[in-house]
Amino acid sequence: MISKKMSDRINLQINREMYSAYLYLAMAARMGEAGYKGVANWLTIQYHEEMFHAMKMYGYLQDQGASVALDAIARPDFKETGVKEIFQHTLEHEKGVTASIREIAALAREEKDYATENFIAWYVDEQVEEEKNATEILQTIDLLGNNAQGIFMLNIELGKRKLGVPSDFTGLAGH
């Protein structure tokens, strides 16, 4: 069983993961409306990944005999309308998520909660990938400059992203 402090912190992270999902879905809608269907696809897949992250934590709390407490999800806060700006926001957002995940890891160590420390290690690794993906897309955009054909091709490439079901998908209730 985990401490109340840890379960409260993981519940907060569930909300943050769901907010991330909501943010990416809102960004996907904006990009789709602007004609960037490939970018919208990439962001929609990101939405699904964030929901997976939240549900994995949900399942972990249940496995630990802790209560799941779902709070309201804040309205996504972003004003960006361009592809580069959307991915700049994405990178900054993911850096914030990384900091939040590290707080859980630090609390787990502080409490000598080895199960949670082991569990959260997956998220630590996942955040490296999340920041890397956004950084690489931004690097590609920078290489393209103001080349409309290049952005068009990037849009097509991002549209090829497919939703994968992780092999460790154990986050749903009743698993």
For the segment 129-175, what is each residue's pLDDT rounded down to a tens digit?
Answer: 999 999 999 999 999 988 889 999 998 999 998 988 555 544 444 43
146-152 long-range Cβ contacts below 8 angstroms, 24+ apart = 151/83
113: Cβ contacts below 8 Å, ≥ 6 apart: 2, 3, 6, 107
pLDDT cut 90: percent of the chain above it: 87
Q: What percent of the chain has pLDDT over 70?
A: 94
Task: Copy the structure tokens of residue 175.
Answer: 């698993």
What's the whole-number average pLDDT of the chain? 93
- Looking at CATH, the fold of the domain delimited by 4-158 is given as Ferritin (1.20.1260)
User: Could you tell me if 67 and 34 are in contact, meaning their C-beta atoms sit under 8 angstroms apart?
Assistant: no
Q: pTM to 2 decimals?
A: 0.90
